[in-house]
Each structure stands twice: as structure tokens, then as C-alpha cells.
Structure 1
Amino acid sequence: MGIERFIGVDLVWALGGARTKPTETGVAAIDGRGVVIDCGWTFGLEETMSWLAKTAVGGSTLAFVDAPLVVDNPAGQRRCEREVGQRYGRWKVSANSTNQSSPRRAGVLLRALLQEAGWVYDDGRDGPPTGGMVVSEGYPYTTLVGSSELDYDQERPTYKRRPARVSTAQWRAVRSEECDKMIARMAGLATADPPLLLASHAVSRRLLDELSPQLAADYKHREDLIDALLCAWTAALWSRHGLARCQVLGADSLVPLGSASTIIAPARPEQMRGGAS
């Protein structure tokens, strides 16, 4: 049957307290033709779960979440996070550390809620799923530098983290300009295999039609949607090409198949284990 719908969730990692307004989570869903079925933002896990329930295609959905879904290490950094730096560090990509003492673990709760709702967590070690309601962990930065279609073959785009060469005073303007250049590259995925058609939905089309804002809150709003769309496309790429185009970071963990703490990441040959340095 195959997977019919691909979902990306740029999940806010921290859970707001009782007096704190939930932070936005970016969400996006595409089909196998790259058409954006729905995209936008949710607030809090309950609203995110509701959106997933109405957007998923029963028995044929793969969701990639940008947040730690399995955190089984008491301290330090997860193996998959270390491997991000080892495989993608040359492109200035690394990952934050997560462990069981970390306060920002909304992804763990989301995975538990999804499993209660009938979804299956998949660590990717057995290849892409062919059906079911499946959730895995992704990381947009690895998609940007690991996908040749986006042409970041030297280093990651500066749409999120300020590089040392850019002054604080210049940063907002530089960030917005670089974000627009990145969106232009994402528009080129319309002819990729699999495709992503940003212009196919009114909300994602605004990424093409409007310049990226400089105000921090407005920029973060846009960034969350971009990362959700990248996660959705990564899910489609994994489903279409599997280990020929992607690698499973943290795959050597000695735990039962399907339950390891992993990140499924697009990769050029030189970024894969044993690739040319």
C-alpha cells in the first residue's frame, strides 16, 4: 500500500507551566505528490494531538518530529546527538544535548500520547515503514546539509544560529536575507524526487510571497513553519529512498529493534559512516 501522507512537526521542546501560554509548534502535512495538505501552527500538546488526529490518513501516515522522542540516557548526550556532530560537523551542524535530567522533553510525552492513540514509534533501523501510523525523529539541519537538492554543500544556512562572523547589530537583517535565500532553494524541491510544492497551500505560499520579517517573534513564527515543512519532506524522502539517501544516527544502540533513540537524517555519501572525509 505504501505511505500516503507525510507529516512534519517542529515541536516546542519545553512544556509551559500552568501560568505560561503554550509556545507555538509548527505543523505541516504533504502527500506523495508534494502537495501541502495542511500547515500552520498549534499551541500545546493537546492541540498538536488534535491536529495530528484530523490530518493523518489512517493506516498510512509517517510523521517526523523535530524533538527528542526517546531519551533513555541518565546524563550526557544521546548517541544520535553525538553522531550529528561527528557526521555533519564539517557543515557546522551539531545537536543540543538531551538526557533524563533535561527539563525540555515534550517530545517524550508526545510520543507516549501518540502510542496511546495507536501510533508506532520507529527508530528506522529496519528501513522505512510501508504502512501504519508511524512516528520517527528528524532534525531539519541535517536535511538542509544532507540533501544535495538544497545545495548546502559547504555549511549550514544561517537562518537560525548567529555565526561569529556576523555582528549582533547585523544579525536580524542577515538572518532574514539568508532565510529568504533558503526558501528559494526549498521552492526548487518542486521538481525533486520526492517533490515539495510550497505554492500548493495558501499558508506555505506566503513563504514565497512575503519577505522574512526581522522582528524576533514574527521570525520565529516563520521559522517553525519552515522546519515543519522540512520535516514533512524528510519523511517523504525517507519513505521514497530509505538508506540510499538517509542514515539512522544512533543505530548501533544495543536495544530491541524499533525502540532505539535515533535521528533519521538525509546524508550525502561523505556524511555516512565510513564516507570520505
Structure 2
Amino acid sequence: MRFVGVDLAWGRRGVTGLAVADATGRLLDAAVRRTDDDILAWLRRWTGGPCFVAFDAPVIVVNPAGHRPCERLISQYFGRYGASCHAANTAGASFVDGSRAVGLVEALDLDLDPTSTSPRRAAEVYPHPALVALFDLPRVLQYKAKPGRDFHHLRSEMLRLAEYVESLATAPTPLHVKTCDAWHNLRTGLAQATIKADLKRVEDTLDAVVCTYIALYAATNPTEVRYFGDPATGQILTPVTPALAARFDQQFPPPRSRSVSGHSSLEVVRPQQGK
């Protein structure tokens, strides 16, 4: 089974990061692409068989304004760590005709239903809360360009993230990146970066690698992840700490889990609308 991460640009002019690992956690490739055709060509190379594709981008967007319910839930549980979501709605130019991500999901014939036993699945993910949970961080890593963050700060935080990713080689659910040429190129680009634009070229690929690990982790540790939201209005899959899981399950008791394509089952949490 292949685990694929897609750091998808919301608009069609942006750069998209892509990464893939096998079932042992070995990073096989990472790349950047821009057009849907180029993204699909890369994805089809790795998703011809059983796969789990994690999209860092809104997939289901049906709300005419404001935040989606899943985004509000992420902010409720991870906002204290600085991991709130940007709002996605159909008033935005990127979602007037449906999300870019759902088009890719349909083109690849992937199943978005978290309870599905299909060997070809997809989910929306979000690296910030995932990193908080995976590495027990007190705050999000500040590697995203925002006002007040200079080049040296961004580069330092991105180096921290790269080191966290490399440390997963010894995790119970391992990810092995150092044997991959694409990771070596990423590390070289980060080491040689001198301006923020250099960091941005690294960031997209780095986020895609994180998304790949979220998919692998979810399939391997089904009781340590939760789906925030509901199928009709959008769901975000993320790892959770035991404390966050207990708090979430108290508010939204999970249903029975089901077997998923040879792996342990993914425990699915479906909050009812209006809660």
C-alpha cells in the first residue's frame, strides 16, 4: 500500500507539494507540480493500486460563507496551540465551482468515506494540529511566512520541522526519509536558502512529506486519530494526544470501528450538525 501526501495549492496557479511512502515507511519520492494535469500524472504513478492519499487542502466545501464546521472544531481543540484553520467557503474564488481537491479525488477514483473498506482512499488533513499531537508541541512550529517572521526565524523553524521528520525513523510508526534523493535535495535547498522565496520552495515539499506521514500514521494507529467534522460538510483527519482524544470522545462518542484494507480499522468520529 502507498501513502501519499498532497500539499495542494488552493488556486490553480500555486505550487503543490507531493510525497509518497510505502507501507514500511520508506519515503519513495517527493516533488512539486503546478497544473492539475501534472499533479495527476505524478499521482497516477503512485496510486495505481491500494493507496491512502492525504490532502492538505479543503476537499468538501459547501458552506456559502464563514468557516466549515470541521474548521471550527479544529480551532476549538487546537486553537490554543496556534493551529486554527483558514476559512474555506463557496464565496471564495477557489471554491465557486467546487474544490480543486475533490476534482483530484474523483479523477483518481478515491473513496472519501472514512468507514469504507476500499483499498483506495483519501482524506483531508492539516499539518499544524498533526505536528502538535505527534510531537507533543506546546505551540505550532512557526515555519509559515507571516508578518513579523523574518527569514532567519522561518529557516530555524523549518530546520526544526525537518529534524522532527527525520526523528520519525525511530518512532513506533517509522518514516525513513534519509535514503530518499528527494529528501536530500530538500535538505540541501534548506541549507542553501538565503531568502524567503528559497524557503517557500522547500516548504511545499516538506508539508507533503508530513501529509504522507499522517496517512501512514492513521492507518497504523487508528485509535490515535480522529475525524473532525462530518462527511456532508467536510472532515479533517488528524492525530490526537490521549488527552485530546478523551476530551473529544466525551463530546462526540465514537461509533464502532471497521476494518480498513488490511490495516487496523480507523476509528471514526462524526459530530452531528449543530453541536
Q: TM-score range by the shorter chain?
A: 0.7 to 0.9
In the alignment, which of 190, 197, 200 is matched to residue 176 of structure 2? 197
Give ranges in structure 1 of 5+ residues lacking alignment: 16-21, 252-257
Counterpart of 1:268? 241
In the alignment, which of 1, 6, 12 is matched to residue 9 of structure 2? 12
Number of aligned residue pairs: 247
Counterpart of 2:69? 79
**AA matched with 2:247:** G
Q: Deviations over 1:105-152 (max 9, x none)?
A: 398233234324422223x3x3xx5542211100011111011xx242
C-alpha distance in structure 2 between counterparts of 1:223 and 1:65, whole Å: 15
Does the CA-based 8 Å contact 1:10-1:27 persist in structure 2?
yes
Does the CA-based 8 Å contact 2:8-2:101 persist in structure 1?
no
Q: Deviations over 1:65-120 (max 9, x none)?
A: 00000001111110011111100011111000011111123982332343244222
Give ranges in structure 2 of 5+ residues lacking alignment: 251-275
Counterpart of 1:42? 33
Cα deviation for residue 196 of structure 1 reads: 1.1
Percent identity of equivalent pairs: 27
Counterpart of 1:102? 92
Does the CA-based 8 Å contact 1:115-1:121 persist in structure 2?
no
Cα deviation for residue 161 of structure 1 reads: 4.6
Does 2:18 align with 1:27?
yes
Does the CA-based 8 Å contact 1:143-1:267 persist in structure 2?
yes
Counterpart of 1:141? 128
Root-mean-square deviation (CA, aligned residues, Å) is 2.2
Counterpart of 1:120? 111
Please list every run of at least 4 consecutive aligned residues from structure 1 whose deviation after the TM superposition is greater than 3 angstroms.
206-210
Q: Deviations over 1:171-229 (max 9, x none)?
A: 11111012112211111101113211111211112344552624222211100011000
| Structure 1 residues 104 and 32, CA gap change in structure 2 (3 angstroms) | same
**AA matched with 1:85:** S
In the alignment, which of 39, 53, 60 is matched to residue 44 of structure 2? 53
Normalized against structure 1, the TM-score is what? Answer: 0.82
Does the CA-based 8 Å contact 2:82-2:140 persist in structure 1?
yes
In the alignment, which of 185, 210, 216 is matched to residue 164 of structure 2? 185
Counterpart of 1:221? 201
Cα deviation for residue 269 of structure 1 reads: 2.2
Q: Quick one: higher RCO (CA 8 Å, sep 6+), 1 or 2?
A: 1
Does the CA-based 8 Å contact 1:80-1:261 persist in structure 2?
yes
| Structure 1 residues 110 and 155, CA gap change in structure 2 (3 angstroms) | closer
Cα deviation for residue 260 of structure 1 reads: 4.6
Cα deviation for residue 259 of structure 1 reads: 4.8
Does 2:154 align with 1:175?
yes
| Structure 1 residues 236 and 259, CA gap change in structure 2 (3 angstroms) | farther
Cα deviation for residue 56 of structure 1 reads: 1.3
Q: Deviations over 1:226-256 (max 9, x none)?
A: 10000000000111111x21111114xxxxx
